[in-house]
A and B are shown apart, each in its own frame.
Chain A
Amino acid sequence: MTEPVLEVSGLSVRFRTDAGVVPAVNDVSFVLKRGETLALVGESGSGKSVTSLAVMRLTPAPPGCEVRGRATLSRVGELLSLPEAQMREVRGSRIAMVFQEPMTSLNPVLPIGEQIAEPLRYHRGMARAAALREAAKLLELVGIPEPGKRLASYPHQLSGGMRQRVMIAIALACDPDVLIADEPTTALDVTVQAQILELLKALQARTGMAMLFITHNLGVVAEVADRVMVMYAGRVVEQAPVRELFRAPLMPYTRGLLRSVPKLAPLEALGAPLTAIPGNVPDPANLPGGCAFAPRCADVRKVVCEAELPELDAVGAEHLVRCVRWRELAA
């Protein structure tokens, strides 16, 4: 269980835009172990999706986008410097991805059977008929009834939940070591979201794949994650095992985020106002100096917080926090 399958270190992504250079991701490092789920949490613009796209080597080509750092996948090697031809062998085979919007990520004019068979034919060199038989098995695995008949269906004939199951079948076709799921349930209804989360957990237990689960929904995090990494304005601001993060968050941003989620329990709290974080997420092209959260932070001490960027401190073996005041605040 403790064998690392993906090690990302010092990952930085910058976009060159008309408005100047935008540092979308800054110095992100993490380790993903076999069989575990690491949730990557953040609000829009926090850099969580760009982090995953950079690992998959799906960010735009330079000079529009510049990626630095290392991402080492076990049994493959360093991904960020891999020639594209070799990366193509890895992508969809050793490391796969499920996207948020299943309608726009599937090909609307190709039957789903062909789309599931594609990675098998490309990576495994299987013949079409054999790949389609395997595709039917995969459809059954992801819980689609009458898989043999469904192979000929087009995406528009399926519901959102079914389409997401097809996306998962495609991602899992070659039995990857790492699955990156980028907001896989955000576009789905809550009863269907529950089905997809159960499915992903069941498949992970079966295959031992590691999951990098990107979401903004803390309820989903509590449900699926073993460890959590919180991002704000392109940087990791806290990382901890899931229970520790929810029970004893240290970074004021994490605390604020947890407090601002509307909860169904306890019932007495239902009529009460929510605890919002004041202000807005900073513009990544125009980040404040020092701690990026300082302008919205209730615990800010201007002199220390705005002086320089806080380091990511180790609180314990598995708990990291980026806040100059965490010792005082924890007391």
Chain B
Amino acid sequence: MHFPLPRRSPLGPRETVKAVDDVSFSVLQGEVLGLVGESGSGKTTVGRTVLRLMEPSGGTIRFRGRDITHLSRRALRPIRPDMQLVFQDPFASLNPRMTIGSIVETPLLIHRKELGRIERRDRVADALRLVGMSPDFANRFPHEFSGGQRQRVGIARALMLRPGFLVADEPVSALDVSIQAQVVNLLRELRAELGLSILFIAHDLAVIGHISDRVAVMYLGRLVELAPTRALFQTPRHPYTEALLSAAPAPDPDLRRGRIVLAGDPPSAINPPSGCRFRTRCRYAEPACATATPPLQEVAPGHFSACRRQELVLQGAG
């Protein structure tokens, strides 16, 4: 799958939000690609766009080798079961008036009309078992369950049609730590068991690190770095990734270390800085960083970074 997708979504007659600008990446068969960024970085927009839930303003989306960028809704329908979404908020994404069973069953009613009632019931039971829930829960309502259990229901629904590709948009950020670990582990197991490819979107680098094979970092609508997980954490090449890693508080009081505290807030995507969008907060920025947008370049095998100063040796937090 390959998706170069420069997109522009108009907010008004004059202003344009480049929510996501010229982002290219691919998710390989059976791979988990982590997509990390802060609020407003465009990571959710990317997730929705690759599923064709939002229309890209440019670029192409390829799914299993096929260009799906301009397929009509009708033409997309047979592909939809193969690409599914797990939502962030397990409280808002389940209809409170439907039972767990009917929530999980809905995809079958839409895409597998040939299945009979009993067969559907069996598949619902299988899906619930798959995510570690008892099939007896099928007759109960979402409010009877905790956040972690509801997220399992959301995952069961997404897996109902046996998709090959899953977009998981912040699937654990609304959950408590002890439960978050359960859901991350569940996704790891499902991926191994079902050979799923997952685009895993999160703002928490540590969570991303525990599930992803490769990690892509976004800042203000652009990809700034893309690398195999360990390489990204060990030797980040983009100053923003370095700052992001250093800002994450480590659960260890002996590691209270010098931190790179970025000045200011991320600029607005309506009027992003010229050239490199991170330059206004970057401690390595030079005047030349304002002139041209640095492209994503391969700096080591499989390791891409969009920094003009390729020669840069990042200092780390002193």
Contact = CB atoms under 8 A, between A and B. Distances in A.
Given A44-B176, A189-B39, A264-B233, A243 B261 contact: no
Contact of A43 (B176, B209, B245): B176
B176 A219 contact: no
Contact of B181 (A160, A219, A275, A280): A275
B234 A257 contact: no
A263 B206 contact: yes
Interface string B179-205: 111101100100000000000000111
A258 interface: yes
Contacts of B233: 264, 267, 270
B148 A280 contact: yes
B178 A272 contact: no
Contact of B177 (A190, A218, A223, A271): A218
Contact of A219 (B39, B178, B248): B248
Contacts of B266: 189, 191
B252 A246 contact: yes
A121 interface: no
A137 B68 CA distance: 56
A280 B146 contact: yes
A316 interface: no
Interface in B269-308: none
A275 B185 CA distance: 8
Interface in A265-296: 265, 267, 270-278, 280-281
Interface string A233-276: 00000000011001000000000111011111101001111111
B181 A223 contact: no
Given A194-B247, A274-B185, A260 B261 contact: no
Contacts of A159: 265
Contact of B251 (A192, A195, A263, A278): A263
A59 interface: no
A249 B148 CA distance: 25
A255 to B, nearest CB: 11
**Mostly helix, strand, loop or mixed at chain B's interface?**
helix
Contact of B250 (A44, A161, A222, A260): A222
B253 A258 contact: no
Which of B203, B243, B249 is packed against the most chain A CB atoms within 10 Å?
B249
A192 B234 CA distance: 23
Nearest to B41: A189
Contacts of A258: 251
Contacts, number: 146
A217 B206 contact: no
B177 A257 contact: yes
Contacts of A223: 249, 253, 256
A257 B182 CA distance: 12
Contact of B178 (A189, A225, A256): A256
A278 B250 contact: no
Given A264-B248, A280-B146, A194 B261 contact: yes
A280 B179 contact: yes
A267 B234 contact: yes
Interface in A181-230: 189-195, 197-198, 216-223, 225
Nearest to A145: B264
B149 interface: yes
In which size bucket is the chain B interface? 35 or more
B259 interface: yes
A169 interface: no
A222 B229 contact: no
B158 interface: no
B184 A262 contact: yes
A258 to B, nearest CB: 7
B66 to A, nearest CB: 32
A54 interface: no
Contact of B209 (A190, A198, A219, A262): A262
A265 B250 contact: yes
A162 interface: yes
Contacts of A243: 253-254
A264 B233 CA distance: 8
A273 B192 CA distance: 12
Contacts of A261: 177, 181, 206, 251
Interface in A76-115: none
* 4 pairs of A and B residues whose beta carbons are closest in the complex: A219-B249, A276-B181, A274-B181, A262-B206
Interface of A: 43-44, 159-162, 189-195, 197-198, 216-223, 225, 242-243, 246, 256-258, 260-265, 267, 270-278, 280-281
21 contacts: A43-B179, A161-B265, A190-B203, A191-B243, A219-B249, A219-B251, A222-B255, A246-B254, A258-B251, A260-B178, A260-B181, A262-B180, A262-B207, A264-B233, A265-B250, A270-B229, A271-B210, A271-B229, A280-B146, A280-B179, A281-B179
